[in-house]
Amino acid sequence: MALYSEKVMDHFTNPRNVGVIEDADGVGEVGNAKCGDIMKIYLKISDDIITDVKFETFGCGSAIASSSMATEMIKGKALSEALQLSNKAVAEALDGLPAHKMHCSVLAEEAIKAAVKDYYDKNGIEYDKCQFADCSGCAHCHEE
């Protein structure tokens, strides 16, 4: 079997939703300290629905394919749905990623969450901190 699925190759060579939204309602930027890759997600939000999404990814092919697929998966969706998107679901939608490349899909999940959080913060919207990575580790979300 080839290392990368056709879908990964497709989204890598022809990524969807690349770019910047100048007047974005939420922006999320995350990086992976180990590989140095950076991903930035821009969201346009209206009535809790993601009406537009763009990304910039300075990273490996798997990170680019993951951002492309993840943006396709959240476009037109409610914020609550976007927050449910897991890196596993992104990797599955790409017909899989090699095990040592799974962390690349994590960037996509984290960048989307960071962008939604940015929107909540900017608009003073209350939210459950446990949904986000910077939750400081309350017992609630860290119990197995």
Least distance from ligand FES to the Cβ atom of residue 91, Å:
12
CA dist 21 and 72 (Å) reads 15
What is the DSSP code string of 88-144? HHHHHHTT---GGGHHHHHHHHHHHHHHHHHHHHHTT----GGGSTT----HHHH--
One-letter amino acid of 94: L
Mind telling me the catalytic residues? 35, 104
Distances 132 to 1, 2, 14, 120 between C-alpha atoms, Å: 36, 35, 30, 12
Q: Show contacts with ligand FES in window 56-115 (CB under 6 A).
A: 59-60, 62-63, 104, 107
| DSSP 3-state of 61 | helix
Least distance (Å) from ligand FES to the CB of residue 24?
Answer: 22
Q: Where does this chain touch ligand FES (CB under 6 A) — which range of 18-26, 55-63, 86-94, 112-120?
A: 55-63
32 binds ligand FES (CB under 6 A): yes
Of 17 and 79, CB closest to ligand FES: 17
Least separation in angstroms between CB 35 and ligand FES: 3
User: Which CB sits closer to ligand FES, 35 or 135?
Assistant: 35
d(CA 116, CA 125): 11
Residue of the chain from 20, 35, 133, 135 that contacts ligand FES (CB under 6 A): 35
Q: Which is nearer to ligand FES, 62 or 68 (CB)?
A: 62
